[in-house]
Amino acid sequence: MSLSFAASASNAIDLHVLPQDGVDDWLSRQSPTTVAWVRANAFAGLIGQALVIPDTGGLPSMALAGYGTAGTRLRGRFALAAAASKLPKGAYRIISGLPEDQIEVEALGWLLSGYRFDRYKSAAPMAAQLIAPDSIDASRVEAIANGEALTRTLINTPASDMGPPDLEQAARDLAEQHGASIAVTVGDDLLTTNLPMIHTVGRAANRAPRLIDMRWGETGPTLTLVGKGVCFDTGGLNIKPGASMGLMKKDMGGAAAVLGLAHMIMATGKKVQLRVLIPAVENSISDNAYRPQDILTSRKGLTVEINNTDAEGRLVLADALALADEEKPDQIISMATLTGAARVAVGPDLAPYFSDDAGFVAALEASAVRVADPVWRLPFHTPYESMIEPGIADLDNAPKGGFAGCITAALFLRRFVTDSKYAHFDIYGWQPSAAPARSKGGVGQGTRALLDAIDRILTP
């Protein structure tokens, strides 16, 4: 689906966005009829409140949206979107009330409120449409919204329709849209091109594993995005309990996130040389599935002891990261729904990330606040390196003990990037319950912050 602003219209409804402490002041400048209507409807400027004020003929003359207080706005994001979803059909033009530095974020939130996953069941479009405020770059905001919509739709699609071939097709469609090149290595060709761990993890499935490699841009600094594309994760021979398998269609959330981010980068014309690598597999069970205690040799030559076949994401990412690092790009970023430990640490709303680059951290965290896309830094804690060294091989894919699981996973991945700056995001990729601008289901995390920070991250 496409998310876009409404065309300007002569019959657009003026929308006043009012914080709680601004309602009385605004009412002091209105007619007695308007004051009576607002009071009768108990509009107090609370977040989520919306009210249409009729003219003498009963048609909308204006509308109000609550903007809460500074304190209540800190408890969530996209305050305007909370009201937008309650407004009746029509095109709305924001007249007053939003702080200048929040107009773009709130306009984006309004667009994202219009997202619907309607592949299998029709869904009514959002009734209230927003005319783009004059102070924002409307095409840029639409590009961001549609990149996020792409991520959500890819995650929401069940594995029956989003296996490795389908993920490949989504990447091909995106490449065609933006004039990018794409190459895909499938099945046993992964062995002849030295991508053995991607092959091993995916070989038990009846839909062949593959490595998707997309490139765009001919000038500027080099940026490589690597996304985990495990289209369904049974856990392999270390099979997950049924309850733990329920959301495993979202285990390709890292791939969905980097494709959404790639759309944002290409649609906004960022001056970068972009590469997107996605190892796309299913972690299935069959007579040729890889086993606990197997030892795998990676593209980089490091050997890996398999102590749990349900720690497969780091294996496929490792080969892709090693491939990415061979070109020595200015920045490599991986995104993956990698560990439950990250969710235990920070919950579903924050995007935890790892980076040792002070410039990257400063740029990302400033952007995260500016665009309302929260992130939280976790450490590449080098003293824990011994936890991923089993003795019988170079690395252990699932260290015993259960401590610091997201950190040891990140340290494992870092072993495969030796010549480039590297950051890793261990995202959840799922909105457990509906919130303003975020329907229940797949969601992007960290991508808008990265887009905003890219120019500063890639500046030497």
User: Known catalytic residues?
Assistant: 240, 314
Closest CA to 221 of 270, 277, 276: 270
Going from the C-alpha of 68 to that of each of 17, 100, 250, 372, the distances in angstroms are 10, 16, 34, 17
| Angle between helix 447-457 and 358-370 (nearest 10) | 130
Give every strand in the sheet of 60-66, ordered side by side. Answer: 50-54, 60-66, 13-18, 90-96, 128-130
- Do the strands 50-54 and 60-66 form a parallel or antiparallel pair, or are they unpaired? antiparallel
The strand pairing partners of 351, in sequence order, are 375
Count of CB atoms situated within 10 Å of the CB of 99: 11
Helix (H) or strand (E) holding 61: strand 60-66
374: exposed, middle or buried (Cβ count in 10 Å: 0-12, 13-18, 19+): middle
Helix (H/G/I), strand (E/B), else coil: 258 = helix
Report phi then psi at 399, rounded to 5.
Answer: -60, 145
**What is the chain's length?**
460
372: left (phi over 0), alpha (psi -120 to 50) or beta: left
Q: Which residues pair with 157 in a beta bridge?
A: none
CA distances (Å), 81 to each of 54, 227, 368, in order? 22, 29, 19
Tokens standing for residue 94: 């924001």
Compute the distance between CA of residue 165 and CA of residue 171 in angstroms, rounded to an integer.
10
Nearest one of 292, 307, 314, 335 to 402, comparing CA atoms = 307
- The whole-angstrom separation of Cα 91 and Cα 7 is 8
Q: Which tokens hold the place of 43?
A: 């509009």
**Is the separation of the CB atoms in 414 and 385 below 8 Å?**
no
Beta bridge partner(s), residue 438: 435
Listed in sequence order, the residues at least 6 apart from 191 whose beta carbon sits closer than 8 Å to its beta carbon are 199
Closest by CA position to 392, among listed 303, 292, 286? 303
